[in-house]
Chains A and B, each alone.
Chain A
Amino acid sequence: MRQDHSHLPPSTPEQIRAMARNAGLDLPEELMRQLIEAWPSYEAMIRRIPRHLPRDAEPAHTYRPLRLVRT
């Protein structure tokens, strides 16, 4: 069974405003309201990401120094 974060409660509008502020976003109120409306789908998405991958599971892009030398 996959372990994820989907059991967590959705963020409140105030929490979303705080996260946006922490990210350095200073949006006009209308655009902030749009973000508050859009965020729940994204929050649900990232909370479905599995968290039980083996310790040695590599990310899909790893550092390839030779490629940088070539460019």
Chain B
Amino acid sequence: MDPAFLTIAELDRLYDRHELSPVEVTRALLDRTAAYDGRLHSFIRVTPEVALAEARAAETELMAGQRRGPLHGVPYALKDIVETAGIPTTGHSKLCQDHVPAQDAHLVTLLKAAGAVLMGKLATWEFALGGPSWDLPWPPALNPWNLDHLPGGSSSGAGAAVAAGFVPGAIGTDTGGSIRGPAAVCGIAGLKPTYGRVSRRGVFANTFSMDHCGPLTRSVEDIALMMGVIAGSDPEDPGSEDVPVPDYRAALDGNLNGLRLGLVERWYQGDGVHPDLAPAIAAAVEVLRGLGATVEPVALSSLRDYTDCKTTISTVELYAIHEPDLKARPQDFGRILRNRVLPGALIRAEDYAQALRWRTALAREQAQALVHCDALLTAAALGVAERADPNPPDGLVRVPSITMPFSVGGLPAIAIPCGFSRAENLPLSLQIAAAPMAEATVLRIGEAYQRATDWHRRHPALA
């Protein structure tokens, strides 16, 4: 049995019945990665020794009937801004190419305790912001659906590796859309949890007040399984919330009867939006209605407003983080990161404070909308995967982002595939967001949609 595109839930069942073993699966995925990642560049560093040692340990325990949970013996990989004790964590940057952390990030500790198998460290945009860049020590990852296109960013390697069947799940981070964007253009699922739901301790900071860690997988059910391990309070993360973690998998009942959904159509209408996107979202809405939900339009502030607010806050916080290196060795940063962060030196304190006050107003607007509905629907990307162009115009500030609104709100938001473009045959994606800590609602809707559709079962052909 080729395990390349088995989901975590399927591996769980097969391990349970002793029909497949963690060592067998890990070897097969390492071989697949070795065969194809030379063109895809999704990994910065594969860790076969670690993977096989963890897989053997898991296998021994499973054979002895000591089952730790659904991630036991399941391979995964980490965006290379998540610290791993004894394994370099580079941020895909020349500045940290020799950085070997002494400790694991908190979520890595949780994944180890769950018996998951670390396959390696994944490409990112430099420090989770500057990319795609061709002037860094490692090349940018490419999109497995078409190697002339990019996998989005900044969790670029995570999106590419999961879609390519190298790992069933990966951990990414999302400040303005860095989990949802790659998930959207790679045709997989990616969840940005509520701010404070998953610990950021041991993860390179991008924007302290908007950084989130979360899973990318090929099914919503698998997102639920990974969240069951990594969600929870961490007293050593000042942003962490002490809220009980529900059984996310138990929430997946396929039933949307009585659920009220608000559709934010305005965000994916107008110039620059792929022509196949609105029909794909409309079709997804009909599927959700067919499953029992009611869907009504909702009006929120423009993407321009949300993007301006988020980017002002981020640029200042990023500059504060990187100021010493930007002054001492600016040429060691990639051009894109440097040009996205240096403007933070020129933004005045009053602009930052006003943006923070604006954020409260925008977040309240979302909270108000969620009084009247259980979740919000919109697109997860305004187009398909961009072409891999080494000298692209930088659209970070100029082009509004459809993922940033829920970064500003700190809300749980998932991207799931909802179709393919006709001209390019590249994935299109639906975004679902809900109230703070209502990840279970987001997952319930997404999983019900995936029971009724098969977009998530389509995979790229790499051979």
Contact = CB atoms under 8 A, between A and B. Distances in A.
Interface of A: 16, 19-20, 23-28, 31, 34-35, 37-39, 41-46, 48-51, 53, 57-61, 64, 67-68, 70-71
Classify the secondary structure of B's interface with A: helix
Interface of B: 209, 235-238, 304-305, 308-309, 311-313, 315, 326-327, 330-331, 335, 338-340, 342-343, 345-348, 351, 353-361, 363, 394, 397-398
Contacts of B356: 59-61
A39 B315 CA distance: 12
A41 B343 CA distance: 10
A67 B359 CA distance: 21
Contact of B347 (A26, A42, A48): A42
18 contacts: A25-B345, A28-B330, A31-B330, A31-B331, A38-B339, A38-B340, A38-B342, A41-B397, A42-B347, A43-B346, A44-B397, A46-B355, A49-B354, A49-B355, A58-B360, A60-B209, A60-B357, A67-B238
B323 to A, nearest CB: 8
A19 B330 contact: no
Given A53-B354, A58-B357, A42 B398 contact: no
Contacts of A67: 238
Contacts of A71: 235-238
Contact of B312 (A25, A46, A51, A70): A46
Given A45-B308, A58-B357, A60-B359, A68 B351 contact: no
Given A28-B331, A41-B397, 18 more contacts: A19-B345, A19-B346, A20-B346, A34-B335, A35-B342, A45-B308, A45-B312, A46-B308, A49-B308, A49-B312, A49-B351, A49-B354, A53-B361, A58-B360, A59-B353, A60-B356, A60-B363, A71-B235
A20 B358 contact: no
B327 to A, nearest CB: 6
Nearest to B409: A60
A46 B354 CA distance: 9
Contacts of A27: 330, 342
Nearest to A2: B305
A70 B327 contact: no
Contacts of B236: 71
A25 B238 contact: no
Nearest to B307: A45
A42 B343 contact: yes
A18 B187 CA distance: 46
A25 B327 contact: yes
A48 B304 contact: yes
Contacts of A16: 346
A51 B351 CA distance: 9
A50 B354 contact: yes
B441 to A, nearest CB: 23
Contacts of B238: 64, 67-68, 71
Contacts of A19: 345-346
Contacts of B209: 60-61
Given A24-B327, A28-B330, A60-B357, A42 B346 contact: yes
Nearest to B313: A60
Nearest to A34: B339
Given A45-B308, A46-B351, A23 B397 contact: no
A66 to B, nearest CB: 10
Contacts of B361: 53, 57
B189 to A, nearest CB: 28
A43 B351 CA distance: 10
A39 B341 CA distance: 10
A41 B398 contact: yes
A71 to B, nearest CB: 5
Contact of B345 (A23, A46, A61): A23
A24 B335 CA distance: 20
A28 B236 CA distance: 40
A34 B341 CA distance: 12
Nearest to A37: B339
A46 B316 CA distance: 11
A39 B339 CA distance: 8
Contact of A46 (B305, B339, B347): B347
Nearest to B394: A38
A33 B347 CA distance: 18
A54 to B, nearest CB: 9
Q: Interface centre among B235, B308, B343, B363, by most A CB within 10 Å?
A: B343
Contact of B346 (A23, A28, A51, A68): A23
Nearest to A70: B235
Given A39-B346, A46-B347, A60-B363, A53 B235 contact: no
